[in-house]
Chains A and B, each alone.
Chain A
Amino acid sequence: MLTKTLTVALVGNPNTGKSTLFNALSGLRQRVGNYPGVTVEMKKGHFFTGNTTISLIDLPGTYSLAARSPDEMVAVDLLLGRRPEEPRPDVVLSIVDATNLDRHLFLTCQLLDLGEPVVVAVNMMDAAAAQGIKIDCTRLSSLLGVPVVPIQANQGVGLDQLTAAICDAAESRFEPTGPVFPQQFNEEVEKLQDELGGEVSQFLTRRLLLDVGGYVEQWSLQLHGEQLKTSLLEARQRLAEAGTPVPAVEARTRFNWVREIVAAAVTKPRTRPITWSDRLDKVLTHRVWGTLAFLAVMFLMFQSIFLWAKPLMDQIDGLREWVAGSVEASLSPGPLRGLLVDGVIKGVGSVLIFLPQILILFGFVAILEDCGYMARAAFLMDRLMSRCGLSGKSFIPMLSSVACAVPGIMAARVIENRRDRLATIVVAPLMSCSARLPVYVLLIGAFLKEGYSVWLPGLVLFGLYMIGFVVAPLVALLLKRTVLKGETPLFLMELPAYRRPKLFAVIRRMLEAGWAFVLRAGTIILAAMILVWALLYFPYTDANGTPYSERIAAIEAAPDADSAEADRLRGEWMRGSYLGRTGIALEPLFRPLGWDWKIGMAAIASFPAREVIVGTLGLIYDVGDVDTGAIGDETADEDARKKAEGLAQAVKSDWASDPVRGPYGVSVALSVMVFFALCCQCASTLAVIRRETRSWAWPAFTFAYMTILAYFAALVVFQVGAWLTDLLKGPV
C-alpha cells in the first residue's frame, strides 16, 4: 500500500500548551531543525495514522505573523513555503487557549489569509469549564469556516479527532477566508502589489503595508529602494486620513470579526470569576510579598545548584579517578597512557562534571517557566536590570552564573531579544563562579590568614565576589552602548496564567539541556583538554633521552619509594614542556603583575578550567598533584589535606625567598586572585558561548575582553599594592 506524507505546521501563542500537544502527537520521534542565518530552532516530529505519515513542525510561539526580525520571519516564510529546506505545509494547525479565545483567535484569523487549509485545536477545555466558559465548537467551526476540535493536550484527550480533522482538511484542500478588510485598505494593497511587479503575494503585501518598520518592509526597501519608501509613506498617510490607520486597521478588522464569532459561539458568566491566577498574583507580584517570595525562590534555586550538585559532582569525579586509575594500572607508561589518563579521561570527566548543575538549573528553569513564574520574576527584577541596559529576563541567567557560567549562559535562551541575550551571555562569565573558589582559598590561606585579623579572609573573599557583581553590569552597560547598541527592546510581555508544571515535561527539558551540552560543547572542551595535555606532556624525555614517566615509575616502584624525588622529576618534566617553555619565555609579560614564570605558566595551563591552576602549581612547586577538592575542605582525607597545605606553604616560602618579589607576597596573591576573578580561563564557558551564539566571534570576543580586563586589573592591583607596601614599610 502506498503511504503518503502530510506536512503540518503547528502554530500558536506562547503558553498555549503547544509543546505539550507537539510532544503528545509525536512522542519521541522528534528532532531539532536549525535554519541558516537565524538562531531559532524548530522541532520536527512525525507520527502515523492509517497509511499516512504526518510530519509535524513546531513553530516558535508567537502572538502574530507580523515579523519584526529575521528570526520571526522564518516562521512566516515556512508557512508560505518560502524556505528551501521545508515543503509548504499541507495543513496549518492553530492551537488556541479555551480560556482566552478572543485573543488567541487573532492569530488564527491571520493564518486564514495564508491560503492553506487550517484546523483549530481548542486546548484547555477543562480550565475554561472551571471558569464557567462554555464553547460550542460546532458553531465556532461553522462561523470560522474551518474545522474546530476541542482537545486536552496534557491528558491526550481529543487527539484522534484532531488527527482525523487534519487528514480531512488536507484532502478537501479548502482554502479558508478571514474577515474582509476595508475597501480603501484593499485598494492600497492592490496598488502596492502592482508597483512591486506582481511578484509579491497578497499576504506579504498586506504585511508590508501593515508592519511599520517590520521585517517585510526592511527587506522590500532593500530590493526596491527610495521609490517604494515614498509610496509606502503616502499609502499609510491616505489610510490614516480615511480613518483606517495602520496598524490599528488590522486589529480592528480582525478583532471585530473574532469577537462577534466568540459572542455567538461562547457563553461566559456575566461577571468574570476570580481565578487562581488572580489570587496568586495578589501575592506574587505584590511589592513586598512578591519580593520576599522571589528572594525565597532564588535562594532555593541557588542553594540547590550548589548543594545538591556537590555530591553528584564528587561521585562523577570519583568515577573519573577510578577509571583513570584502572587505565593507569593496565597500561605501561608512555604517551598513550598519558593521552588516555590526562587528556581523554580528564577531558570527559570535566565535561560530565557540569551535568549535575546543568540538570538542576534547567529543572528549575523548566518548572518556573511551565508554572508561569518566570515572567513574574522578570517583571519583579526588570527595573533593577534596566539600569545596566538589560531587562528582567537577564536576571536568572546572571544569578545562575554565580554557581557556574555554563548553565547560566544556557539559561539565557529565555531572552528573546538578540542584543540583550548576547550582552547577558558575554558578561555572565564575569560573575564569580564556584571554580574560582579553590584559587581564592589557596591564596588567601597562604598569605592572608596568619598575622591578620580573623575577619580579613572573609572580607577579601567577599570583595572578590563583589568584583563580579560590580563589573558585570558595567560591562553590560558599556556593550549596550557600543557594539550591541540598538533600540531598547519592547519589554511588553504576557504574564501567563499559573499552571501546574508537568513532571514529564520538566524531565524532558532537563535531559535536552544536558544532552545539548554534552554533545555540542563537550567535544570542544575535550579538544581543549587534549591540547593542553599535549603541550604539557611533550617533550617527554629528559636530556639523556630517557622518558620521565619511566624514571618516575622506577622511583615509585622501589621499596623505599622517595616520593619527593618523584615530585621533583614531575616538576622538571613540566618546566621543560612546550607550555613550560612558553611560560618562561613570556615572563617579561607577567612581571608587571608581580608574577614569575611559575604563576604565568600555571595561569596559561589553567585555560581548560580555572581550578586546574591549583594542580598545576602543585606540579611546578614539586609537591605533586594536589587535589583541588581538598583545598579548604576540612573533611578531605589527611594526605590530600597535607598536600594542599604543603602547596600553600611552598608557594609562600618560594615567594618570600624571591629578592624582588619577596616583600610583596600579599600584593602578588591579590593580583593573581583579581586576575582569576576577571579572566575567562574556562574552555567550557567558551565552548558553550560558541554553541549558544553559533559563532566563534563571540567566544573570541569574550576571551579577549576578559583577559585584557583581568591583565590590567591585576597590573593595577600589584602596582598599587607594592607602592602601599613600600609606603607602610618605608623609612620613618
Chain B
Amino acid sequence: MLPNPGSPGGLMAGTPTSLLSDLRPGDRAEVVAIAGEPALVQRLYEFGLLEGDCVEIVALAPLGDPIELRIGNTRLSLRKSEAAGITVKIT
C-alpha cells in the first residue's frame, strides 16, 4: 500500500516528514511519496521525480506561489496546491 500523503509520518513512523509545499528556498529533501490527481502524478513521474529521489527548492515566486524545484538537471515550476501531494523527508 502507498503511504497516506499529507499525514506526516504515515509511511515510516518515527521519521519526520513534511509536505513539499511547506519547504523554503534552499531546502533539500528526499521524496517519500507522490499523490494527487492522476494526471499530475503521472507528469511528475515522467519528469523523473520518483520516490527516493532528491529535490532542491530553488525559489518561490513573488507572491509565494508557485515553487521552483530542481531534480538533477531538471527545473520544474509547480503550484503549492500541486506540491501539497508530495511527501518529503528533509535531508
- A residues in contact (CB < 8 Å) with B: 63-64, 66, 68, 99-100, 102-103, 106, 210-214, 240, 245, 247-248, 250-252, 255, 272, 275, 277, 281, 285-288, 290-291, 375, 378-380, 382-384, 386, 490-497
Q: How many residues of B contact A (CB 8 A)?
A: 36
Chain B binding surface, main DSSP class: mixed
**B61, A380: Cβ atoms closer than 8 Å:** yes
Is the beta-carbon distance between A247 and B61 smaller than 8 angstroms? Answer: no
CB nearest neighbor in A for B60: A287
Q: With the chains together, A63 CA to B58 CA distance in Å?
A: 22
Please, could you name 16 A-B residue pairs with CB atoms under 8 Å apart, sorted by A?
Answer: A100-B73, A102-B48, A102-B72, A212-B38, A212-B39, A245-B2, A247-B41, A281-B68, A290-B59, A378-B77, A491-B77, A492-B43, A492-B47, A492-B77, A493-B78, A494-B74
Bound Cα distance from A596 to B9, whole angstroms:
73
The CA-CA distance from A497 to B72 in the complex, in Å, is 12
Q: Is B14 an interface residue (CB 8 A)?
A: no
Interface centre among B50, B60, B62 (most CB of A within 10 A): B62
Given contacts A379-B66, A491-B77, A493-B76, contact A281 B82 (CB under 8 A): no
Shortest CB distance B37–A (Å)? 8
Across the A-B interface, how many residue pairs have beta carbons closer than 8 Å? 126
Q: Are B79 and A287 in contact (CB under 8 A)?
A: no
Knowing A492-B76, A495-B76 are in contact, say whether A383-B66 is a contact too (CB < 8 A): yes
In the bound complex, do residue B66 and residue A63 qualify as a contact, i.e. CB atoms below 8 Å apart? no
Chain A residues in 8 Å Cβ range of B38: 212-213, 247
Nearest B residue (CB) for A384: B63
A287 to B, closest residue via Cβ: B62
Given A287-B62, A383-B64: A63 touches B75 (CB 8 Å cut-off) = no
Is the beta-carbon distance between A211 and B75 smaller than 8 angstroms?
no
Kindly provide the distance from the CB of A103 to the nearest chain B CB, expressed in whole angstroms.
Answer: 4
The answer on a CB contact under 8 Å between B61 and A248 is: no
Chain B's closest residue to A65 (CB) is B46
A251 to B37, CA, bound (A): 16
Residue of A nearest to B77 (CB): A379
B75 and A490 contacting across the interface, CB-CB below 8 Å? no
- Across the two chains, which residue of chain B brings its CB closest to A489? B39
Q: Which residue of B lies closest to A243 (CB)?
A: B1
Docked CA distance A99–B73 (Å): 7
Cβ of A213 and Cβ of B66 under 8 Å apart?
Answer: no
Q: Is the CB of A247 within 8 A of B65?
A: no
Q: Do B60 and A213 touch (CB < 8 A)?
A: no
B84 at the interface (CB under 8 A from A): no
Distance to closest chain B CB from A650 (angstroms): 50
- CB-CB under 8 A for A382 and B66, given A287-B60, A492-B78: yes
Would you give the shortest CB distance from B87 to chain A, in whole angstroms?
Answer: 14
Q: Cβ of A497 and Cβ of B73 under 8 Å apart? A: yes
CB distance from A604 to the nearest CB of B (A): 44
Question: Which of B61, B63, B68 counts the most A-chain CB atoms under 10 A from its CB?
Answer: B61
> Are A252 and B58 CB-contacts (below 8 A) given A277-B75, A490-B43?
no
Check if A103 sits within 8 Å of B47, measured CB to CB: yes
- Given known pairs A100-B72, A252-B50, the reply for A492 and B44 (CB within 8 Å) is yes
Complex Cα gap A100–B73 (Å): 6
Identify which of A214, A285, A286, A383 contacts B65 (C-beta below 8 A).
A383
B48 engages A383 (CB within 8 Å) = no
> Is B7's beta carbon under 8 Å from chain A?
no
Asked whether, in the complex, the Cβ of A494 is within 8 Å of the Cβ of B76, the reply is yes
Are B47 and A68 interface neighbours, CB within 8 A?
no
- The complex places the Cα of A11 from the Cα of B64 at a distance, in Å, of 35
| A375 vs B59: C-alpha distance when bound (angstroms) | 14
Q: A212, B79: Cβ atoms under 8 Å?
A: no
